Protein backbone atom coordinates (compact mmCIF):
# COMPACT_ATOMS: atom_id res chain seq x y z
CA UNK A 1 0.00 0.00 0.00
CA UNK A 2 2.82 2.37 0.84
CA UNK A 3 4.53 1.75 -2.50
CA UNK A 4 1.25 2.40 -4.31
CA UNK A 5 0.77 5.67 -2.41
CA UNK A 6 4.32 6.77 -3.22
CA UNK A 7 3.79 6.06 -6.92
CA UNK A 8 0.57 8.08 -6.90
CA UNK A 9 2.34 10.98 -5.18
CA UNK A 10 5.09 10.86 -7.80
CA UNK A 11 2.48 10.95 -10.59
CA UNK A 12 0.81 14.00 -9.06
CA UNK A 13 4.18 15.73 -8.62
CA UNK A 14 5.01 15.10 -12.29
CA UNK A 15 1.66 16.58 -13.33
CA UNK A 16 2.25 19.65 -11.17
CA UNK A 17 5.74 20.16 -12.60
CA UNK A 18 4.33 19.82 -16.10
CA UNK A 19 1.72 22.49 -15.36
CA UNK A 20 4.36 24.81 -13.91
CA UNK A 21 6.59 24.35 -16.94
CA UNK A 22 3.79 25.17 -19.38
CA UNK A 23 3.06 28.60 -17.89
CA UNK A 24 5.78 31.25 -17.94
CA UNK A 25 4.35 33.15 -14.95
CA UNK A 26 4.18 30.00 -12.83
CA UNK A 27 7.67 29.04 -13.93
CA UNK A 28 9.07 32.46 -13.04
CA UNK A 29 7.36 32.53 -9.65
CA UNK A 30 8.41 28.93 -8.99
CA UNK A 31 12.05 29.80 -9.65
CA UNK A 32 11.84 32.89 -7.44
CA UNK A 33 10.20 31.08 -4.54
CA UNK A 34 12.44 28.03 -4.61
CA UNK A 35 15.49 30.30 -4.60
CA UNK A 36 14.55 31.27 -1.04
CA UNK A 37 16.28 29.12 1.58
CA UNK A 38 13.76 26.77 3.19
CA UNK A 39 11.12 27.07 0.47
CA UNK A 40 10.78 23.89 -1.52
CA UNK A 41 8.39 22.25 -3.91
CA UNK A 42 5.52 21.62 -1.48
CA UNK A 43 5.54 25.10 0.07
CA UNK A 44 5.76 26.73 -3.34
CA UNK A 45 2.82 24.77 -4.73
CA UNK A 46 0.82 25.50 -1.57
CA UNK A 47 1.54 29.22 -2.02
CA UNK A 48 0.41 29.03 -5.65
CA UNK A 49 -2.84 27.35 -4.66
CA UNK A 50 -3.52 29.64 -1.70
CA UNK A 51 -2.76 32.86 -3.56
CA UNK A 52 -3.88 31.78 -7.05
CA UNK A 53 -0.31 32.44 -8.24
CA UNK A 54 -0.18 35.69 -6.26
CA UNK A 55 -3.18 37.22 -8.02
CA UNK A 56 -5.63 36.84 -5.12
CA UNK A 57 -4.19 39.71 -3.11
CA UNK A 58 -3.78 43.25 -4.39
CA UNK A 59 -1.12 44.16 -1.85
CA UNK A 60 1.68 42.06 -0.32
CA UNK A 61 0.63 43.05 3.21
CA UNK A 62 -2.74 41.41 2.67
CA UNK A 63 -0.99 38.11 2.01
CA UNK A 64 1.27 38.46 5.02
CA UNK A 65 -1.56 39.39 7.38
CA UNK A 66 -3.50 36.16 6.85
Which tens digit of pLDDT belongs to each residue from 4-60? 999 999 999 999 999 999 999 999 999 999 999 999 999 999 999 988 998 888 877
Longest dimension (CA), the chain: 44
Q: Which residues touch 34 (CB under 8 Å, ≥6 apart)?
A: 40, 41, 44
pLDDT at 21: 96
Between CA 47 and CA 6 the distance in angstroms is 23
Do 8 and 2 meet the contact criterion of CB atoms below 8 Å apart? no
CA atoms within 13 A on the CB side of 33: 19
Amino acid sequence: MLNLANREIEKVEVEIVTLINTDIELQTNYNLLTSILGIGFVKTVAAFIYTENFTKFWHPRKYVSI
